[in-house]
């Protein structure tokens, strides 16, 4: 689950979990405190863990802390040593900064539980000291979601296997984008053509998530993967083509038009992680006039494998309720009933290869929003290609910095009139950021 950038303001409120069961016997906890960054996580606790049937014998206090507040609140609590939770959920992009035995309990005695998990999540939760500091409950490969009706209109075929051939590389992505832009339809139903995506800089998360090299070398030096800057179909050049040829709707990710394009008739597709299919697309597929794209979508792997987000559960060092906290983490990363049911109910992709493979041929996992497509074979294929070695604690900042200068290059700003100038300004931004990274 992503730290949902586009979630509603309602998540800003703290949600307290309901009390279940009697207080623990003498010596046990009376209340386990769990901080999470999403209302869905609170629902998972009340629906699957803190239930009458399970009869924990103690209460769980769930606090939903929006992701933009989570880090500062956790940092303050670590500094003061007060008001810390027992268990905390952290997003993949920011989790690395806390992998430290002084802050988190190591979970080495749970390593045997990771054999059927995606290896990149285990690598990401392992510190330089070799200790395991968290377990990931879900996996968030990225896909390309597209409109079936548009594919059918222009190519006469909306089948995912066929559409993937039109978008299986950045070269084919651009070629298909040009076909879409030139298409008006037999009845002129697309008078201005079709835009391949809403925001051209949505390609940034794909390029950044599919790099071979992470932002920081083992020596602590800044590294810029060649896929971002070199060649005709680098991130910089693809952005500029999309901009120069007016192939996107030129919105900003998460703004009003970006959302309204989901239910509209101008945009062909969206790059989305697994969680975004529900949170962003399904939740915004019907407009105020009743127009809807519900059921008109399908997904493919697209031009490159990438990932966005992911939820890790960690135990705070020094908790009074260590075993109870570990049981909590174990449940949300291994329980078969929870993981399969949550996946089917919410279209999520959980961190267990066997359980997710079981859903590939499970008709109850077919997704009505995706026109009845079962998404799990696509999710699995995408997840198998994720390179977890590129994850660093600086990804959120550096991805944003690079996307800013790629945008400036695409828009022909004088400070970024060449890729070399844009890269130089990017490096200057990193140098001025105060991040502990050496910049050549």
3-state secondary structure the chain: CCCCCCCCHHHHCCCCCCCCCCCCCCCCCCEEEEEECCHHHHHHHHHHHCCCCCCCCCEEEEEECCHHHHHHHHHHHHHHCCCCCCEEEEEHHHHHHHCCCCCECCCHHHHHHHCCCCHHHHHHCECCCCCECCEECECCEEEEEEEHHHHHHHHCCCCHHHHHHHCCCHHHHHHHHHHHHHCCCCCCCCCCCCEEECCHHHHHHHHHHCCCCCCECCCCEECCCHHHHCCCCCHHHHHHHHHHCCCECCCCCCCHHHHHHHHCCCEEEEEEEHHHHHHHHHHHCECCCCCECCCCEEEECCCCCCECCCEEEEEECCCCCHHHHHHHHHHHHHCHHHHHHHHHHHCCCECCHHHHHHHHCCHHHCEHHHCCECCHHHHHHHHCCCCHHHCCCCHHHHHHHHHHHHHHHHCCCHHHCCHHHHHHHHHHHHHHHCCCCECC
In percent, the amount of the chain with pLDDT more than 70 equals 93
With a cut of 50, say whether residue 359 has pLDDT above it: yes
With a cut of 50, say whether residue 11 has pLDDT above it: no
Tell me the mean pLDDT in the region 257-263.
Answer: 97
Predicted local distance difference test score (pLDDT) of residue 19? 31
Q: 330-347 pLDDT, tens per residue?
A: 999 999 999 999 999 888
Predicted local distance difference test score (pLDDT) of residue 100? 74
Predicted local distance difference test score (pLDDT) of residue 389? 86
Answer yes or no: are the C-beta atoms of 426 and 399 closer than 8 Å: no
Q: 393-420 pLDDT, tens per residue?
A: 899 899 999 999 999 999 999 999 999 9
Burial class (CB in 10 A: 0-12, 13-18, 19+), 72: exposed
Residue with tokens 């109910």: 345
Predicted local distance difference test score (pLDDT) of residue 12? 31
Predicted local distance difference test score (pLDDT) of residue 8? 30
What whole-number distance in Å separates Cα of residue 123 and Cα of residue 212? 16
Predicted local distance difference test score (pLDDT) of residue 430? 97
pLDDT-wise least confident of 24-28, 43-47, 269-273: 24-28
pTM exceeds 0.85 for this model: yes
pLDDT classification of 386: cutoffs 50, 70, 90: very high
Predicted local distance difference test score (pLDDT) of residue 28? 62
What whole-number distance in Å separates Cα of residue 346 and Cα of residue 332? 15
Predicted local distance difference test score (pLDDT) of residue 27? 55
Q: Average pLDDT of the chain?
A: 91
Comparing 259 with 91, the larger pLDDT belongs to 259
Predicted local distance difference test score (pLDDT) of residue 159? 98
Tell me the mean pLDDT in the region 357-385.
Answer: 96
Domains of the chain: residue spans and CATH: 9-140+308-385 (3.40.190.10), 142-307+389-433 (3.40.190.10)
With a cut of 60, say whether residue 10 has pLDDT above it: no
Predicted local distance difference test score (pLDDT) of residue 95? 82
- Beta-carbon-side half-sphere exposure of residue 295 (alpha carbons within 13 Å): 3
Predicted local distance difference test score (pLDDT) of residue 201? 97
pLDDT classification of 96: cutoffs 50, 70, 90: confident
Q: 299-315 pLDDT, tens per residue?
A: 999 999 999 988 999 99
What whole-number distance in Å separates Cα of residue 117 and Cα of residue 120? 9
Six token digits for residue 304? 């490159």
CA atoms 257, 164, 306, 125: torsion sign: positive
Tell me the mean pLDDT in the region 258-265.
Answer: 96
Predicted local distance difference test score (pLDDT) of residue 429? 97
Answer yes or no: are the C-beta atoms of 198 and 255 closer than 8 Å: no
In percent, the amount of the chain with pLDDT more than 90 equals 84
With a cut of 70, say whether residue 360 has pLDDT above it: yes
Tell me the mean pLDDT in the region 190-200.
Answer: 97
Residue with tokens 């038009």: 257
Contacts of residue 175, Cβ cutoff 8 Å, sequence gap at least 6:
166
Tell me the mean pLDDT in the region 61-82.
Answer: 93
């Amino acid at each position: 689950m992503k730290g949902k950038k586009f979630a509603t303001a309602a998540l800003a409120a703290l949600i307290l979990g309901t009390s279940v069961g009697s207080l623990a016997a003498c010596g046990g906890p009376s209340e386990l405190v769990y901080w999470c960054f999403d209302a869905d996580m609170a629902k998972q606790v009340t629906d699957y863990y803190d239930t009458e049937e399970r009869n924990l014998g103690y209460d769980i206090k769930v606090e939903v802390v929006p992701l933009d507040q989570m880090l500062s609140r956790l940092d303050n609590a670590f500094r003061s040593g007060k008001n810390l939770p027992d268990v905390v959920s952290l997003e993949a992009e920011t989790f690395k900064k806390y992998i430290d035995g002084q802050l988190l309990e190591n979970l080495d005695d749970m390593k045997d539980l990771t054999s059927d998990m995606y290896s990149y999540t285990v690598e990401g939760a392992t510190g330089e000291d070799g200790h395991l500091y968290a377990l990931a409950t879900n996996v968030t490969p990225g896909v390309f979601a597209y409109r079936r009706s548009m594919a059918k209109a222009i190519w006469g075929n909306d089948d995912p296997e066929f559409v993937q051939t039109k978008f299986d590389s950045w070269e084919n992505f651009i070629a298909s984008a040009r076909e879409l832009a030139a298409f008006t339809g037999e009845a002129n139903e697309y008078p201005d053509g079709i835009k391949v995506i809403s925001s051209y800089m949505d390609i940034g998360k794909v390029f950044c998530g599919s790099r071979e090299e992470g932002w920081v070398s083992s020596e602590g030096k800044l590294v810029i993967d060649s896929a971002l800057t070199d060649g005709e179909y680098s991130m910089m050049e693809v952005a500029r083509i999309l901009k120069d040829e007016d192939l996107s709707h030129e919105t900003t990710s998460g703004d009003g038009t970006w959302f309204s394009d989901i239910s509209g008739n101008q945009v062909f597709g969206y790059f989305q992680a697994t969680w975004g299919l529900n949170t962003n697309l399904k939740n915004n597929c019907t407009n105020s006039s009743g127009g809807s794209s519900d059921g008109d979508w399908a997904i493919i792997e697209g031009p490159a494998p990438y990932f966005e987000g992911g939820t890790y559960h960690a135990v705070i060092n020094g908790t009074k309720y260590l075993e109870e906290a570990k049981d909590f983490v174990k449940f949300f990363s291994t329980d078969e009933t929870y993981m399969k049911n949550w996946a089917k109910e919410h279209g999520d992709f959980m961190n267990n290869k066997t359980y997710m493979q079981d859903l590939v041929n499970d008709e109850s996992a077919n997704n009505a929003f995706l026109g009845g497509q079962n998404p799990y074979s696509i999710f699995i294929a995408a997840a198998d290609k994720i390179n977890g070695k590129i994850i660093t604690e600086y990804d959120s900042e550096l991805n944003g910095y690079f996307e800013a200068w790629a945008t400036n290059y695409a828009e022909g700003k004088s400070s970024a009139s060449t890729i070399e100038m844009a890269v130089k300004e990017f490096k200057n931004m990193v140098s001025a950021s105060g991040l502990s990274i050496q910049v050549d």
